[in-house]
Structure 1
Amino acid sequence: MNDERLKADAKLLVIEDDATTRLLLRKILQKEGYEVVLAKNGIEGLDKAIELSPSVVISDWVMPGLDGIEVCRRLRANADLSGTFLILLSSRETVSDRVQGLDAGADEFLSKPIDPNELKARVRAGLRQYQLHRQLSVANSNLVETLQKLQQAQARLIQSEKMSSLGQMVAGIAHEINNPINFIEGNLSFAKDYIQDLLAIIKLYQKYHSQPEAEIQDKLDEVDLQFLIEDSERLIESMRFGATRIHQIVKHLKNFVRLDEAEMKRVDVHDGLKSTLIMLQNRIKFEGTKEIQIIEKYNELPKVDCYPGQLNQVFLNILNNAVYFLHEYTRKRIIDDPIVKIETELIRERSEICITIANNGPSISEDVRPKVFDPFFTTKPVGKGTGMGLSICYQIIVERHGGQLSCVVPPEGGTAFIIELPLEQEDL
């Protein structure tokens, strides 16, 4: 950047209690094309520095009230003025004086009486350093932002790979389970018919041989034939119910991963919530702690345009966090009866649905609540979480679906996450 451009962008602040010196400095610098602001003492100078954020501050060393050393210290303590170039005016020439000034934060010194050429050279050098500091700050900021984006992208890829691996595993397990269950379910009708036929034969024997041999009678008494007859049908129906339940679980597992639904689709979010709870069934009760009570209050909802697999991932992360902390609170006897409440409702006036997932643990603190969606922020112990789960949830809901995700403290206490989703997406 050339000197003319530096002059155009520069703001210079002169802090000097002597009026003659103050006006001389302004005359020299304005003649060079600089914008110059004057302050008559250190206190006024600090106020103007905070207000204007000057590129260069030229301050006298010896001033009543607040001297140049203290002005330097206070300016350096202000993060917004950390890059400002500070020049101390002084007739002091000893090494110890210069060391004191440098320790206070001064960048350069200018001796009195002032030489105009030296003044102009010091200011030009200060402006170049100020501009380099600004460019470095911008570059650092860009690097930090890029690093955060890369880390977020890495976390999303890892999470996506986890979900993909989980989906493939679930699909494989579902296939393996379906085959024997289909075999069992298909043969239950035959088993029922066979048992009925055998029981019919036994009834015929009883009809025509009402007085069986003693050995047969002993066996009949031992097995309680009448109970077997009455219970056999209940046994078959119980097995049929169990097979149907396994089919439902498999369906929920496949619904959760939804490998075939990477594109936006119109779905029932209740299916996703129920499927997610199936995935967490084994974690709802930990050994040594009470089982978490799940309260589901599902109001009638229309289908919603969404990415089903991603939305299920949001449900899983939020519910998984709730389950983890409730078990910790129960184990530490902070709460006695852990509860997760899931409620859905339709907000007609905004054409949105609202999903609230709340737990009755201690309310989230006000200093933590604004940070919960920040990347890599976590309140879990080291090794228990990366802090990316809720950040990814926020991106999925806000960026991918145009919705809202917020963390609140309900009136009754505890912590709740509120998901708001539009019913329709322009992409569909």
Structure 2
Amino acid sequence: MAKILVVDDDFTTQLILEEALQSEGYQVRVAQNGKDAWQIVQQWHPDSIVCDWMMPQMDGLSFCKLIKADPDLTTTFFILLTAREQVSDRVQGLDGGADDFLSKPIEIEELLARVRSGLRLQSLTRQLSQANLRLNQAFSELQQTQAKLVQSEKMFSLSKMVEGIAHEINNPITFIYSNLQYLEDYHRDLFELLSLYQQEVTNPSSFLQEKLATVELDFLVSDLPKLLMSMKTGAERIRQIILSVRNFSRLSEEGLKKVDIHEGLDNTLLILQSRLSTANSRFIRVVKEYGDLPLIECYPKEMNQVFWQIITNAIDALEEKQKAIEANYLWCQGKVKSKSCCPSSEVSKEEVFDWTPKITISTKLLDRERILIQIINNGLLLPIEIQDKIFEPFFTTKSIGKGKGLGLFISYQIVVEQHQGSLKTIATQEGGTEFQIELPVSLVANKNSFKFD
């Protein structure tokens, strides 16, 4: 049953309209003026309002503007009663938000027809609004699904590529590493045999003496063990890198497992070592402040993906700050004509050369059930106006070709939805950005949680 509010300062008009509308089966309430009507509206939320224009305290047009300014009441069908016949008056009423007009003296049949028409229009408007809401929800879900599918395909392809490369490198390096010990034994036996020959042959020929001088035997004897040790160290380093790559990608592991979070962080840093050491020719200082953590129940491959994305973003922020500082310094020195991306109006030469890009990674146990991981950089400050947007799908501050706006969105999904944790950013006192990741120590597996395998 539709609810209709009648607003008129004339008591007789109130009775006539109330009786006519109630005879049609509507719920009807009445008010003397716009001020009283506004109090009723806030509690009752009528479907339609029939309101006189000229009233004391608050006239009908002012009341209409108040109704249409409220998002919860904007679809209420508003009929303005008026004795004004000028076109300019009706224009003023329409501009104020009135949906229809009814001239005085009132024809009851016309009033009822306009009320019925208005309620039909209001019903269609509400249906359209609900359809738009459902459409927006569906579009948002489609965006998220699309982002997950894109990232899933990317990570699947990346995992397969890493698996293939690691496998191809692992075979020859294993062959080399396993044979180095034999080579070391052979060289020791040969040198022992050579030493015996030198003891037995006391008077070598001139040709043999010349050859011994040419090959610098003493140098070979002292340097070859060092060379073998260097080869062994290098081969061991390659084996460790391959192991870290495999651990980072978790190629042989699926599902929920108890893992050492610090191992995942260290493997991520190793994978990104080339960027940490060559970012714009400045070595990025990494400070690790690891606390005493228990093994954490999580999806290790997905959590490594989160660490990789956040640390990569930190490196990008540090590179951008260095560019900004150097550009600002050049502008201050008059060496460039335009000033772009400058964090401050003046930068000294000391600031340009003394600023050290830094990433601090700290972990600690908040209580018996949750841990906190903080990844902090002293790069460019993330503007407040976009801090709430960085976890939205396809949102990126990077230039075309450098980012798809999926990494942090997927990271948020992994931490919040899949791991029942929290992920947020805050500005640091040094002017950089801090990512805070809270994770439960023990995770109840969610059968409906998405995967990126």
Q: Cα distance, 1:153 vs. partner?
A: 1.0
* Cα distance, 1:85–1:354 mapped onto 2, change above 3 Å: same
Tell me which of 316, 332, 337 is aligned to 1:324.
Answer: 316
Structure 1 residue 63 displacement after superposition: 4.7
Whether 2:334 is the aligned partner of 1:342: answer no
**1:164/1:259 contact within 8 Å kept:** no
TM, length-normalised to structure 2: 0.82
Q: Classify the secondary structure of the residue corresponding to 1:82.
A: coil
For 2:412, the equivalent position in structure 1 comes to: 394
Q: Quick check: 143-152 or 17-26, which moved more?
A: 17-26
Q: How far off its partner does 1:67 sit?
A: 4.8
* Higher relative contact order structure (alpha carbons within 8 Å, sequence separation ≥ 6): 2
**In structure 2, the residue corresponding to 1:332 is in which secondary structure?**
helix
Which 5+ residue runs of structure 1 have no aligned equivalent? none
How far 1:224 moved relative to its partner? 4.5
Write the deviation string for residues 317-358 of structure 1: whole angstroms up to 9, x where unpaired: 2112111121111122257321111112223x3422221111
Q: How far did 1:250 drift?
A: 1.0
Q: Note if contact 2:144-2:393 (Cα within 8 Å) is conserved in structure 1.
A: yes
Structure 2 stretches lacking a partner, 5+ long: 326-342, 344-351, 447-453
Q: From 272, 280, 292, give the equivalent of 1:288.
A: 280
1:140 to 123, 132, 135: 132
Counterpart Cα distance in 2 of 1:146 and 1:90 = 44
Distance 1:360 1:226, change over 3 A: same
Q: Which residue of 2 aligns with 1:380?
A: 398
The letter of the residue matching 1:408 is I
Q: How many angstroms does 1:136 deviate by?
A: 1.5
Residue in 2 that maps onto 1:407: 425
- CA gap of 1:369–1:91, structure 2 versus 1, over 3 A, is same
> Residues 289 and 60 from structure 1, CA distance in 2 versus in 1: closer, same or farther, beyond 3 angstroms?
farther
What's the counterpart of residue 333 of structure 2? none
CA deviation after TM superposition for structure 1 residue 139, in Å: 1.5
Q: 1:213: how far off?
A: 5.8
TM-score, L = length of structure 1: 0.86
Q: Which moved more, 1:128-137 or 1:142-151?
A: 128-137
199-208 or 302-311, which deviates more: 199-208
- Residue 436 of structure 2, aligned match among 418, 421, 425: 418
CA separation in 1, counterparts of 2:43 and 2:264?
54
Question: How far, CA to CA, are the matches of 2:375 and 2:391 in structure 1?
Answer: 16
Report the CA distance shift for 1:218/1:28 in structure 2 as closer, same or farther (over 3 A). farther
Separation (CA, whole Å) in 1 of partners of 2:292 and 2:358: 23
The residue correspondences of 1:305-324 to structure 2 (distance < 5 A) are 305-324=297-316
Alignment identity in percent?
46
208-217 vs 242-251, greater mean Cα deviation: 208-217
Instruction: Between 50-59 and 412-421, report the one with greater CA deviation.
Output: 50-59
Change in 2 beyond 3 A, CA 1:86/1:239? same
Give the Cα–Cα distance (whole angstroms) in 2 for the partners of residues 388 and 44 of structure 1. 52
Q: What displacement does 1:284 show? A: 2.3
| Aligned pairs, number | 418
Distance 2:45 2:396 in 1: 36
**Alpha-carbon distance between aligned partners in 2 of 1:371 and 1:83, rounded to the nearest angstrom:** 30
CA distance in 2, matches of 1:136, 1:175: 57
Q: Conserved in 2, the CA contact under 8 Å of 1:88 and 1:109?
A: yes
Q: CA RMSD in A?
A: 2.9
- The structure 2 residue matched to 1:236, chosen from 213, 218, 228, is 228
Contact 2:256 2:300 (C-alpha < 8 Å) held by counterparts: yes
Would the alpha carbon gap of residues 58 and 226 (structure 1) be closer, same or farther in structure 2, given more than 3 Å must change?
farther
- For 2:406 and 2:274, the matched residues in 1 are separated by 23
Q: Structure 1 residues 288-297 or 405-414, which shifts more?
A: 405-414
Kindly indicate whether residue 85 of structure 2 is the aligned counterpart of residue 93 of structure 1. yes
Q: Deviation per CA, 1:135-174, whole angstroms, max 9, x where unpaired?
A: 2111111111111111101111111111111111111111
Q: How many Å separate the matches in 2 of 1:160 and 1:208?
A: 71
Paired position in structure 1 for 2:261: 269
Q: Residues 12-411 of structure 1 correspond to what in structure 2 (within 5 A)?
A: 12-18=4-10, 20-22=12-14, 24-26=16-18, 28-29=20-21, 32-38=25-31, 40-41=33-34, 49=41, 53-63=45-55, 67-209=59-201, 220=212, 224-286=216-278, 288-333=280-325, 336-347=355-366, 349-411=367-429
Q: Distance in 2 between matches of 1:246 and 1:172?
A: 16
Moved more, 366-375 or 299-308: 366-375
The match for 2:337 is none
Question: How far apart, in 1, do the equivalents of 2:44 and 2:318 lie?
Answer: 51
* Stretch moving more, 201-210 or 387-396: 201-210
Mapped partners of 2:89, 2:442: distance in 1: 71
CA contact (8 A) 2:265 2:304 kept: yes
Provide the rounded CA distance (Å) in 2 between the counterparts of 1:246 and 1:16.
Answer: 88
Are residues 341 and 82 of structure 1, via their aligned partners in 2, closer, same or farther at CA, if it must alter by over 3 Å? Answer: same
Counterpart residue identity of residue 114, structure 1: I
Q: What is the letter of the counterpart of residue 293 of structure 1?
A: R
Cα shift at 1:187 = 1.6
Write the distance in 1 (CA, Å) between the matches of 2:401 and 2:6: 54
